[in-house]
Amino acid sequence: MPLSRSLLSRRLSSISFRDQGGAETTTESKTESREMSGSWSSMLPELLTEIIRRVEDTEDQWPQRRDVVTCACVSKKWREITQEIVTSPCNFGKITFPSCLKLAGPRDFSNQCLIKRNKKTSTFYLYLALTPSFTDKGKFLLAARRFRTGAYTEYIISLDADDFSQGSNAYVGKLRSDFLGTNFTVYDSQPPHNGAKPSNGKSSRRFASKQISPQVPAGNFEVGHVSYKFNLLKSRGPRRMVSTLRCASPSPSPSSSSSADQKPLDVTKMMKKLNKDGSGFTILKNKAPRWHEQLQCWCLNFHGRVTVASVKNFQLVATIDQSQPSGKGDEETVLLQFGKVGDDTFTMDYRQPLSAFQAFALCLTSFGTKLACE
């Protein structure tokens, strides 16, 4: 017998944890909700799996994808089955739960996102694009705020657009730059592998971050570097950058313990360090633009996703990618592109092996003046 989607929708909406109308829930309605939740929780695993799989297959875009999240809120049994289905290999790239923000993006296409900047508060907001329009806000994913700390600049990345405390449950990681803003270190709030040690510093204490992975302690774990090359001769052309990142994956991958020393990026040293631990990593560099004689400027093909010329615009390709069987990168396939489409609006398109968190951190490095690199 085919399942009735209207019936399922009514049942799911009736067991939501938050009253949409804002009114207080009566004792009778709470009792009815508990009874209904209990009856749905006692379903046969095979039938329950089939129901959730159908919801997962049909509701593949936001805002309809809220139904998948609702399924995970019914009970522990529903949550376990939902998480198992959502994180199956055939569904990589879909963003459903906060943990998906640290999983690799899709392999065959890019997740299209928007970054909104608030100059007054030095805050940046990441949204998953739901339509081709650059003016639609989309689905909120992450937020970052820039702080000046002594000789360093830090971007605190959070799940909450109003909470940037490193001790909050919303904290997911940070980006730290040197004084010149040319060398950056990416920190993850969660250890990249069992036994990983947090960086040595005042902010390396254990946090209360629970949304990403409540089973492991939180801190600041070094997971990547970004370096902009100096342009001492002031030659014409865009900024040149190179990045070394641990490969994002659907499951925790083994990687090395981190170092908190803020030194200029040494790619060779980083490669040796990661190879010693046998962990996967990706080395990215910006794709070289071509000089357009008629326009008299450097040009890259952003396929309509960038409309304003800016020194911040870039495309990254892989020179080494250990998420691939050969371990080599495809220097023609753009894994991350970032560009300006308005005064304070930018596009961010990323794909495997990068996660949304990693791509957002890389794009944040492009903000700010870098006189020595331009």
Neighbours of 13 (CB within 10 A): 11
Q: For 311-360, write each residue's pLDDT tens digit.
A: 888 999 988 766 666 666 677 889 999 999 999 999 999 998 899 999 99
The answer to whether the peptide bond before residue 89 is cis (omega within 30 degrees of 0) is no
- pLDDT-based confidence at residue 171 (cuts at 50, 70, 90): very high
Q: What is the DSSP letter of 237?
A: S
> Nearest 5°: CA angle at 248, between 247 and 250?
135
- pLDDT-based confidence at residue 199 (cuts at 50, 70, 90): confident
Length of the chain: 374
- Enter the CATH code of domain 111-192+217-231+238-248+270-366: 3.20.90.10
Enumerate the domain spans of the chain: 45-91, 111-192+217-231+238-248+270-366
List the end-to-end C-alpha distance of the chain, in Å, as a whole number: 65
Q: Tell me how far apart the alpha carbons of residues 95 and 66 are, in angstroms, rounded to a whole number.
A: 11
- pLDDT-based confidence at residue 163 (cuts at 50, 70, 90): very high
**pLDDT of 281 over the 60 cut:** yes
Q: For 324-334, write each residue's pLDDT tens digit.
A: 666 666 778 89
Cβ neighbours of residue 166 closer than 8 Å, sequence gap 6 or more: 156, 174, 203, 207, 220
Cβ neighbours of residue 281 closer than 8 Å, sequence gap 6 or more: 244, 245, 246, 247, 270, 271, 274, 320, 322
Cβ neighbours of residue 351 closer than 8 Å, sequence gap 6 or more: 93, 105, 106, 107, 109, 110, 111, 335, 336
Highest mean pLDDT among 20-24, 158-162, 192-196: 158-162
Name the helix (H) or strand (E) containing 325. Answer: none
Q: Tell me how far apart the alpha carbons of residues 62 and 138 are, in angstroms, rounded to a whole number.
A: 9
Mean model confidence pLDDT for the chain: 75
**pLDDT of 64 over the 60 cut:** yes
pTM of the prediction? Answer: 0.76
Which structure tokens are listed for 285?
């560099």
Q: Tell me how far apart the alpha carbons of residues 334 and 259 are, in angstroms, rounded to a whole number.
A: 29
Q: Tell me how far apart the alpha carbons of residues 152 and 179 are, in angstroms, rounded to a whole number.
A: 5
> Nearest 5°: CA angle at 263, between 144 and 200?
70
Q: What is the pLDDT of residue 174?
A: 94
